């Protein structure tokens, strides 16, 4: 696994742990980030875990994004999407525009709408809640995966309501699950530099804990490749693993590669594909209790996402339409892939494509209609 002898024994120990299904420690994770550990060897170990959980399957869905506003009270220095209230690029969608997006999604066969956006200075909680109600009422078959922990935290702030009450109201309106955004890097040494005012780690984790207690599935993320170091990444993964031990409510972990263009961190060089693959593999190995690890092709690029399917990832996200957040930050990927394209890139990577819904049930399509079948992919077995 390594070229130099001083750490060879430690690497052998790690391999033994993974092969026998034992949990890796923080020190193990740090070592795996060391360049002394060959990337291909690391990838093979992560692939072992992926294969144990999911065999040869790789998942995708047919989805769309909705960013109802880009106006945001916060100024996270990694964000190229936000706008000030009076900026020319600032927008807020009307109900008609939102409904038109819902119709477009349903007509395109989407099973999921991913909804996140800015924290608008002037829009009240009822606008955000009403948006969920509006979409769910008009398009009940569309799963609404909406509002990051940061947005839920903002709703707490502007209403004085508890997280539990907010989530209960959102569920009653039609919320289906929470996306994993807003986690960035939990450690305060980093968080205070890149997004000091928004929800801290404890708040983000508490929101997801409450969501899990209410029966919602959620995702989790980590934004890497900016001012953090390996220790901050491992600390982040361990905090997620710890909550997952408690609740089992995370479905998918998505490592998000930072795109520096058009941000206040534009001087930083984007993480290399090698770093992307290393982070994918380390994440798969450390998060032994999270069922899925996603290679988000929008951020990684299609080629790296394909390779990532052999470095621990079992999911490649969806066809995606109307993605703004990472394209505003310079992502060069297409704005949409067709179903044929996404299936082909999975097959080219040597995997068997499976269309899933948001809750990882197999989607069956017949004659222009779709329904969901059995749950696919492994559960939460520790490996």
Residues found near ligand SF4 in the complex (CB under 6 A):
72, 74-76, 79, 81-82, 118-119, 150, 195, 198
Q: How far is the CB of 216 from ligand SF4 (least distance, A)?
A: 21
Please, are residues 62 and 319 in contact by the beta-carbon 8 Å criterion? yes
Closer Cβ to ligand SF4, 226 or 241, answer by number: 226
Q: How far is the CB of 207 from ligand SF4 (least distance, A)?
A: 14
Closer Cβ to ligand SF4, 142 or 256, answer by number: 256
Closer Cβ to ligand SF4, 181 or 312, answer by number: 181
Radius of gyration of the chain (CA): 20
C-beta contacts of 336-341 below 8 A and 24+ residues apart: 337/297, 337/302, 339/62
Closer Cβ to ligand SF4, 325 or 346, answer by number: 325
Closer Cβ to ligand SF4, 34 or 159, answer by number: 159
Q: How far is the CB of 88 from ligand SF4 (least distance, A)?
A: 17
* Three-state secondary structure call for residue 374: strand
Angle at 99 between CA 94 and CA 103, to 5 degrees: 150
Place of tokens 């032994």: 288
Q: How far is the CB of 67 from ligand SF4 (least distance, A)?
A: 9
Closest CA to 321 of 21, 113, 180: 113
Place of tokens 């539990």: 164
Closer Cβ to ligand SF4, 228 or 314, answer by number: 228
Angle at 174 between CA 170 and CA 178, to 5 degrees: 60
Q: What is the rounded distance in angstroms from the CA atom of residue 28 to the CA atom of residue 255?
A: 19
Q: How far is the CB of 249 from ligand SF4 (least distance, A)?
A: 22
Q: How far is the CB of 122 from ligand SF4 (least distance, A)?
A: 15
Phi first, then psi, for residue 47 (nearest 5°) are: -65, -30
Closest CA to 249 of 212, 220, 214, 206: 212
């Amino acid at each position: 696994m390594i070229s130099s002898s001083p750490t060879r024994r430690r690497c052998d120990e790690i391999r033994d742990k993974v092969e026998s299904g034992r949990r890796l420690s923080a020190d193990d994770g740090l070592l795996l980030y060391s360049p002394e550990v060959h990337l291909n060897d690391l990838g093979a170990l992560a692939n072992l875990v992926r294969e144990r959980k999911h065999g040869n399957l790789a998942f995708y869905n047919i989805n769309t994004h909705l960013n109802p506003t880009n106006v945001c009270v916060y100024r996270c220095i990694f964000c190229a999407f936000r706008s000030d209230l009076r900026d020319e690029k600032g927008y807020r969608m009307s109900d008609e525009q939102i409904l038109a997006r819902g119709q477009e999604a349903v007509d395109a066969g989407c099973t999921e709408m991913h909804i996140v956006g800015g924290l608008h200075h002037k829009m009240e909680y009822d606008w955000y809640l009403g948006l969920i109600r509006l979409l769910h009422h008009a398009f009940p078959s569309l799963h609404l995966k909406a509002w990051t922990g940061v947005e839920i935290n903002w709703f707490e702030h502007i209403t004085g309501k508890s997280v539990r009450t907010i989530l209960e109201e959102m569920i009653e309106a039609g919320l289906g699950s929470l996306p994993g955004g807003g986690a960035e890097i939990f450690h305060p040494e980093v968080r205070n530099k890149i997004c000091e005012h928004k929800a801290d780690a404890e708040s983000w984790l508490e929101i997801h804990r409450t969501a899990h207690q209410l029966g919602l599935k959620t995702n989790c993320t980590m934004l890497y490749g900016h001012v953090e170091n390996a220790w901050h990444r491992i600390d982040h993964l361990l905090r997620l693993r710890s909550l997952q031990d408690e609740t089992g409510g995370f479905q998918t972990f998505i490592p998000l590669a930072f795109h520096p263009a058009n941000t206040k961190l534009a001087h930083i060089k984007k993480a290399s594909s090698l770093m992307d693959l290393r982070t994918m593999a380390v994440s798969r190995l450390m998060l032994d209790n999270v069922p899925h690890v996603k290679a988000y092709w929008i951020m990684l690029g299609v080629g790296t996402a394909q390779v990532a399917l052999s470095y621990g990832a079992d999911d490649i996200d969806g066809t995606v339409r109307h993605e703004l957040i990472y394209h505003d930050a310079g992502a060069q990927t297409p704005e949409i892939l067709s179903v044929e394209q996404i299936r082909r890139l999975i097959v080219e990577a040597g995997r068997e494509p499976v269309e899933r819904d948001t809750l990882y049930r197999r989607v069956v399509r017949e004659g222009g209609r779709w329904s969901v079948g059995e749950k696919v992919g492994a559960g939460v077995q520790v490996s």
